[in-house]
Amino acid sequence: MSGNFAITNEGTLAVALAELEAHLGEVMKEVRRLRALARSLEEENQRLRTIMIAEQAGEGGYQSLLRFYEEGFHVCPPHFARVRDGEGCLFCLSFLEKKKGMPSHG
C-alpha cells in the first residue's frame, strides 16, 4: 500500500508543479505587458515634459496647444492630454480655431 501512496503523491506533486508552471507563465506574461505599458507611459511623460518646458520658455498658449495637438494629444476639454489614435479630432480642431481668434495673455 505504501507504494501506491507514493505514486499518488508523486502524481499529485506533478500536477501541482504543472499548475504552478502555468500560473508562473501567466504572471510573466502580465509582467511583460506591464513593462511595455510603463515604457509607453514614460515616453508620453517625456513628450509632455518637453511641451511644458517649451511653454515655460515663452511660447504662446495657442502655439503650445497646436504643438501639443500635432504631437498626437487631444487639446479639447473633454479629452485633454489623452493620446489621439492618429486621426484628427473635430473637437480639438474646433477648440484650436476658437483659441486662434482669442487675444494672447502671455
The verdict on 31 and 72 lying in the same domain is no
User: Are 68 and 50 contacting, i.e. CB atoms less than 8 angstroms apart?
Assistant: no
Burial code of 64-95, b = ≥16 C-beta within 10 A, e = fewer?
A: bbbbbbeeebbbbeeeeeeeeeeeebeebeeb
- Look at the chain and report how many structural domains it folds into: 2
Nearest CA to 64 out of 25, 91, 96 is that of 96
pTM to 2 decimal places: 0.45
> Tell me, what's the pLDDT at 28?
97
> What is the domain extent for residue 32?
1-57
Nearest CA to 60 out of 26, 98, 24, 102 is that of 102
> Tell me, what's the pLDDT at 37?
95
The verdict on 46 and 67 lying in the same domain is no
Dump pLDDT digits (tens) for 22-76.
Answer: 999 999 999 999 999 999 999 988 888 777 776 666 656 777 788 888 888 888 8
The verdict on 94 and 67 lying in the same domain is yes
The verdict on 50 and 11 lying in the same domain is yes
Dump pLDDT digits (tens) for 75-90.
Answer: 888 888 888 887 788 9
